[in-house]
């Protein structure tokens, strides 16, 4: 149902059906609000138990970037360009410090396959957005 303002001169023209429809629309809206609140409360829980310690250390959403040296970055970039190297193993230590042109430059210089390049770009930018 569409949300509209009701002026006082419209009130006398309400019939029972209009009132019932309005009540039902309000109930649905309140139900949706309550469900949303319940989901937000459960976000920090697994099976009704609050998350703590090591469960909170990893986001689980996307790999975190980590500061590292140039040698490690070179080895990691080589691993990214190799099809047989699993992304899961690369995800444990994604190097920090790539932005815009340098990110694309690394991907092109190392001939990283398209799907792997997309993954690396997404991880990098998701981490940048996550810091905001």
CB 90 within 8 A of CB 76: yes
Domain count, the chain: 2
Q: Are strands 65-66 and 45-46 parallel, antiparallel or unpaired?
A: unpaired
Whether 20 and 38 map to the same domain: the answer is: yes
The angle formed by the CA atoms of residues 19, 23 and 27, to the nearest 5 degrees, is 170
Residue 24 lies in a domain: yes
Minimal CA–CA distance to 112: which of 101, 100, 104?
104
Q: Tell me whether residue 116 is in a domain.
A: yes
Residue 2 lies inside a defined structural domain of this protein: no
pLDDT digits (tens, 9 = 90+) for 67-88: 888 899 899 999 999 988 888 8
The segment with the largest mean pLDDT, out of 8-12, 19-23, 59-63, is: 19-23
Same domain, 46 and 78: no
66 versus 42: the higher-pLDDT residue is 66
Q: Do 42 and 91 belong to one domain?
A: no
Residues 39 and 81 in one domain: no
Q: 114-131 and 70-81 are packed helices; what angle lies between their axes, rounded to 10 degrees?
A: 130
Domain limits for position 101? 65-131
pLDDT at position 58, please? 47
* Residues in contact with 66: Cβ distance below 8 Å, sequence separation at least 6, in sequence order: 93, 94, 95, 96
Residues 38 and 94 reside in one and the same domain: no
Q: Are 39 and 88 contained in the same domain?
A: no
Task: Centre a 10 Å sphere on the Cβ of residue 124 and count the other Cβ atoms it contains.
Answer: 22
Q: Are residues 98 and 127 in the same domain?
A: yes
Please write the tens of the pLDDT for every residue from 100-132: 788 889 899 999 999 899 888 888 888 777 654
DSSP state of 125: H
Whether residue 113 lies inside any domain: the answer is yes
| Residue 70 lies inside a defined structural domain of this protein | yes
Q: Specify whether 71 is located in the same domain as 126.
A: yes
């Amino acid at each position: 149902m569409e949300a509209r303002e009701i002026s006082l001169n419209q009130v006398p023209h309400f019939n029972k059906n209009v009132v019932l429809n309005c009540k039902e629309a309000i109930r649905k809206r309140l139900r949706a609000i309550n469900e949303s609140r319940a989901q937000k409360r459960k976000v920090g829980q697994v099976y009704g138990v609050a998350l703590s310690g090591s469960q909170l250390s990893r986001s689980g959403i996307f790999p975190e970037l980590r500061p590292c040296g140039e040698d490690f970055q070179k080895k990691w970039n080589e691993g990214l360009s190799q099809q047989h190297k699993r992304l899961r193993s690369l995800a444990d230590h994604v190097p920090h410090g790539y932005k815009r042109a340098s990110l694309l430059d690394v991907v092109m210089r190392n001939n990283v396959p398209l799907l792997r390049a997309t993954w690396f770009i997404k991880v990098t930018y998701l981490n940048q957005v996550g810091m905001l």
